[in-house]
Amino acid sequence: MKVVLLAGGLGTRMREETEFRPKPMVEIGGEPLLWHIMKNFARHGLDDFIISSGYKSELIEDYFAPENWERKAADLSTLYPAPGKPEEEWTIEVVNTGVETPTGGRIKSLQDILDAERFLVTYGDGIAPVNISELVKTHENGGSLGTVTLTRPTSRFGIAQLDDSGLVKGFREKPILDELVSIGFFIFEPSFLDALDMASTLEEEPLGYLATTGQLRGYIHKGFWQPIDTYRELLAMQKLWTENAAPWKT
């Protein structure tokens, strides 16, 4: 299966970095988010990647250009060994799908490349060691057009606990919430592309259509997940990597 990485957005909430490069190219441990995400897919045997670029696409194209990637790949395989093919054996295609194109439109524009086969999609700015093998199995057993990975997020804030009189009795520091949220890591059957057009935002009408027609299954990821939306979140992930405590380095 091909893996589509959505990497074309502007990343406006992280201007400290994205003024100079696309958000999926900000670095942890000296390498871009995209590589960290791709590594997890590869360790589950999925190493045929399509990177849907847009904003500052040339930086992504240059990093993965064969003449540059071949020199880098062997070193990366040694730096972060994992099951699956080493980086030099990955298949990588960067496709500029436009700066302003919404997420569904980016996927639709890749229809010919996807070759009418089942495919995976995820965002280029969120890290999670999702068990891709189990995700694929859930989708195959479910018989739906799409499967989305869900998790229970950690609150960004401490939660105050009040008694009936209004007195604060304590705090819960950044608890795990009960609600499930989508973290990407989708699998779609090729016929899902018929529900998309170039103006589609994946997270709105297309996924809503699958949900209301009983064609969207959920796979629950119970481990670490971190969207990299702000500079503060990036610094926290860089610190985990430096301390050899990165939960996604499996």
Q: Is the pLDDT of residue 177 over 80?
A: no
- Residue 176 CB-half CA count within 13 A: 8
Q: Supply the pTM of this predicted model.
A: 0.91
Query: Which tens digits make up the pLDDT trace of 141-171?
Result: 999 999 999 999 877 777 788 888 888 888 8
* CATH annotation of 2-151+180-242: 3.90.550.10
Domain residue ranges in the chain? 2-151+180-242
- Supply the Cα-derived Rg of the chain in whole angstroms: 19
- Residue 131 confidence (pLDDT): 97
Q: Residue 220: enclosing H or E segment and its boundaries? A: strand 216-220
Four-residue CA torsion sign, 131, 137, 140, 141: negative
Query: Which tens digits make up the pLDDT trace of 109-138?
Result: 999 999 999 999 999 999 999 999 999 999
- Residue 117 confidence (pLDDT): 95
Query: Which tens digits make up the pLDDT trace of 15-70?
Result: 888 888 999 999 999 999 999 999 999 999 999 999 999 999 999 999 999 989 98
- Residue 99 confidence (pLDDT): 94
Q: Which two tokens stand for residue 230?
A: 């702000």
SS (H, E, C) 34-66: HHHHHHHHHCCCCCEEEEEECCCHHHHHHHHCH
Query: Which tens digits make up the pLDDT trace of 179-236?
Result: 899 999 999 999 999 999 999 999 999 999 999 999 999 999 999 999 999 999 999 9
